[in-house]
């Protein structure tokens, strides 16, 4: 998977984005980030942790079981990314 400029998406990119999602979902979020509360899929409150395993892999640990079909769908929708 790569950005529009051809650079590979890294685990650090994902962690940065995850931290933005958490910050924007906080009741104490500053302008321009509105508080949105718990979003679709219990994001971010349903995620216990996000850990970088290596430069191109992260592990999400959820607070409770989730619908596994979502992950199967994502793999089928983007099969080339699953092998990257």
Q: SS3 for 11-33, per residue?
A: HHHHHHHHHHHHHHCCCCCCCCC
Contact, 11 vs 53, CB < 8 A? Answer: yes
- Whole-structure pTM value: 0.65
pLDDT class of 75 with cuts at 50, 70, 90: low
For the stretch 17-63, pLDDT in tens is 888 888 877 777 666 666 555 555 677 888 899 999 999 899 989 88
């Amino acid at each position: 998977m790569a950005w529009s400029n051809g650079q590979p998406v890294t685990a650090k990119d994902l962690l940065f984005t995850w931290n933005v999602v958490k910050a924007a979902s906080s009741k104490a979020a500053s302008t321009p980030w509105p508080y949105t509360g718990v979003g679709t899929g219990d994001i971010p409150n349903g995620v216990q942790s996000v850990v970088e395993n290596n430069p191109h892999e992260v592990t999400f640990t959820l607070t409770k079981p989730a619908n596994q079909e979502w992950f199967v769908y994502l793999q089928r929708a983007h099969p080339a990314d699953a092998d990257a």
